[in-house]
Amino acid sequence: MPAVTVEDTTTLPRVPLPAPRTVRRRTRSVTTAPSGFEGEGFPVRRAFAGVDLRDLDPFLHMDQMGEVEYAPGEPKGTSWHPHRGFETVTYIIDGTFEHADSHGGGGTISNGDTQWMTAGGGVLHIERPPEHLVASGGLFHGLQLWVNLPRAQKWVEPRYQDLRADASVLLASADAGAFLRVIAGDVAGHRGPGSTYTPMAMVHATVSPGATLDLPWDPSFNALVYVLSGAGSVGIDAAPVRTGQLAVLGPGDTVTVRGAVHQESRTPALDVVVLGGRPIREPIAMYGPFVMNTRQEVVDAFDDFRAGRLGSVPALRVPHDTVRGETGQ
Ligand code: MN
C-alpha cells in the first residue's frame, strides 16, 4: 500500500469529466517488464524493456524497485557511479532512500517523496538505504525514471530537487473513484511540484475496483501507463493490464484507466503511474550511465569519467569508496 493515501477522496479537488468531443487514447502496445537486480542486488522490474525509444521519448528507462520486504541486514543500494546527459527521477512509494552526489546535492527521501537529479554535463552519485534501515530491514518500493535532455541542455549545470510528499498535488477523479498524486506537470490546471527541462507530466493514480479514471492529458505529450500493482484495463479499447505491465497509448487528449472489479487481496486497488512528455526527436546514443546524441559523445563521457572530469566523491560522505562506471542505475 502506498504511504501517501487519504481517508476520503471525496474531499479532494476533482478532475472534470472529459468534454463531449474528447478523444480517448487507444492502446498501441502492452509489454511485460522482466525482473532483474540493480546496484548491489536490489530487485527491479525493467518497465520499458522491449519498447522502442521513439515510443518512450522523452523517457528512456524506468525501474520499479521492489516492492520488497527486506530482512534485517539485507537492504541494498548502489555504489558511486556517474551520469551525463539526462535526469533521474526517484519516487519512493514506501520506505527510505538516501542520495548524495558530487555536486553537493543529496538528502533522504521516504514515503511519497521524490528526488529529481539533473545530471546535465556530469555528476557522480550514490543511492542507498540509510544505515538504520539496513539494520532493521523493512518495506521498500519505489521507481526510478530517466528523462532525456535535449541536445541544447545536455551540458547544463547539475541540479538537485527535493520534492516532499506533502508537495504532491492530490486530486480525485470526477466520481472520486480514483486518487491522484501529481508529481510533475499539469493535470486539469493543477500543477505538481517537479520542475523539468523537458515538458512532461507524472501522476501516480490509485483506481478503486470497478472505477474509471478519465485523465485529461496534453495532446502534444505521449502517454505511458505502467502498472505498479493490481489489475484493470487501459485506453478506449480497454486493453487488459496487470502488475508489471506497460501500456503505450496513441494520440488523443484523455488517458482512460479502469480498475478491475476483482483484485487480488494483497493488491486491493489498481496502482498505476501515468507518464507523458513532449518528444525530443533527436538521435539517442545511450550506453550504461550516459545518454548522448552520438556514439563519440558517449566515448568522450567515459574518457571524462576516467579522467575525473565528472566530479569526485565527496571526502566526508564516503559510505562505500568504490566508483563504478558500468552500472546502468
Ligand atoms: Mn544513478
The grid cell for 319 is 559510505
Q: What is the DSSP string of 65-80?
A: EEEEEEPTT------B
252 C-alpha vs ligand 1 centroid, how far in Å? 33
Residue 247 has pLDDT above 90, yes or no: yes
Residue 59 has pLDDT above 70, yes or no: yes
241 C-alpha vs ligand 1 centroid, how far in Å? 29
Query: How high is the pLDDT of residue 84?
Result: 97
Residue 202 has pLDDT above 90, yes or no: yes
158 C-alpha vs ligand 1 centroid, how far in Å? 13
For residue 185, the tally of other CB atoms under 10 A from its CB is 23
89 C-alpha vs ligand 1 centroid, how far in Å? 10
The grid cell for 204 is 501516480
Q: Which amino acid is at 153?
A: Q
Position 322 confidence tier, pLDDT thresholds 50, 70, 90: very low
Position 290 confidence tier, pLDDT thresholds 50, 70, 90: very high
**Digit-coded pLDDT (tens) for 144-169:** 999 999 999 999 999 998 888 888 89
Query: How high is the pLDDT of residue 20?
Result: 87
Let me know how long the chain is.
329
Flag whether 99 is marked binding: no
The continuous run of DSSP H or E covering 247 comes out as strand 245-249
Residue 99 has pLDDT above 60, yes or no: yes
pLDDT mean over 221-227: 98
The residue among 106, 110, 158 whose CA lies nearest residue 316 is 106
78 C-alpha vs ligand 1 centroid, how far in Å? 8
Position 196 confidence tier, pLDDT thresholds 50, 70, 90: confident
Flag whether 131 is marked binding: no
Strand partners, 255: 215
Query: Domains in the chain, ordered, with CATH?
Result: 10-306 (2.60.120.10)
329 C-alpha vs ligand 1 centroid, how far in Å? 4
Flag whether 190 is marked binding: no
For residue 239, the tally of other CB atoms under 10 A from its CB is 18
Alpha-carbon distance 311 to 329, whole Å?
A: 18
Flag whether 83 is marked binding: yes
125 C-alpha vs ligand 1 centroid, how far in Å? 6
Position 296 confidence tier, pLDDT thresholds 50, 70, 90: very high
Residue 255 has pLDDT above 50, yes or no: yes
- The predicted model scores a pTM of 0.91
184 C-alpha vs ligand 1 centroid, how far in Å? 20
The grid cell for 213 is 479514471
88 C-alpha vs ligand 1 centroid, how far in Å? 7
Position 318 confidence tier, pLDDT thresholds 50, 70, 90: very low
Which percentage of the chain shows pLDDT scores above 70?
95
Position 315 confidence tier, pLDDT thresholds 50, 70, 90: low
**Digit-coded pLDDT (tens) for 204-216:** 999 999 999 999 9
